[in-house]
Amino acid sequence: MIIHNSTFEISAVRPSQWPEGGLPEFAFIGRSNVGKSTLLNRLLNRKNLARVSSQPGKTRQINFFAINEQFRFVDLPGYGYAAVSKRERSEFASMIDKYLLEREPLCRIVQLVDIRHEPSKDDVAVHEGLAQLDVPLVVVATKLDKIGKSQVPSQVKKIRQTLRADVPIYPVSAEKRLGLDELWALFESDIAQ
Ligand code: GTP
Ligand code: MG
């Protein structure tokens, strides 16, 4: 994918702020700190288009980015962040649900999990919910650079078993730029649909 331009559009807290539909959308969802914003930046070759932080809970709204005036990336707030108040957590959850259920141009959901760990209870529950939606789903296993090459197949297998996933799993490292071309190939085929 050649990126001619990528722009941040809006941090939306309510559906009326979502950009006018039309362009196909790729939504990134995963636990806080799993690397959603970092992956999005790397895919677009941008340093800090989506805000990244070593502190979890950085992304608190639904952030929309337009790419090549052709498609959108959507950075969703991370789930499972304990230090966020209960009320705020349930607000995030209903905002995310609303987006996933109602957003017509949504063409692909990208669920991120950390390749080093067995998916959490939250990951499993979210995966179950996403798998029931009528939108193509892919799992991305992040931070590939943090494990040895020989561990990759067994970690991917563990993730597949724990999530009971019957969708593809793409191991990537945003840090070391591994696996990004494969992910782009998938996105390009979605856009061409
Ligand atoms: P929230 O916005 O809180 O939901 O987090 P997020 O999922 O957007 O995570 P973010 O991209 O902010 O990254 C969290 C931390 O993980 C940062 O310190 C990143 O530098 C680090 N990180 C992200 N991707 C990678 C990766 O591929 N490899 C390594 N080693 N670290 C990564
Ligand atoms: Mg983020």
CATH classification at residue 69 = 3.40.50.300
* CB distance 159 to ligand 1 below 6 Å: no
What are the CA-CA distances from residue 180 to residues 4, 62, 174 (Å)? 17, 23, 8
So what's the ipTM on this one? Answer: 0.98
Q: How far apart are CA 183 and CA 86, in angstroms?
A: 34
Number of structural domains (the chain) is: 1
Domain assignment of residue 72, yes or no: yes
In the structure, what pLDDT confidence band is assigned to residue 13 with cuts at 50, 70 and 90?
A: confident
Is the CB of 58 inside a 6 Å radius of any atom of ligand 1? yes
pLDDT tens sequence across 41-77: 999 999 889 887 666 666 678 999 999 999 999 999 8
The answer to whether 111 touches 64, Cβ cutoff 8 Å, is no
For 111, the domain range is 6-192
User: Which residue minimizes the CA distance to atom 13 of ligand 1?
Assistant: 35
Q: Please choose from 29, 37, 38 the residue to mutate so as to test ligand 1's pocket, defined by most ligand atoms within 8 A of CB.
A: 38
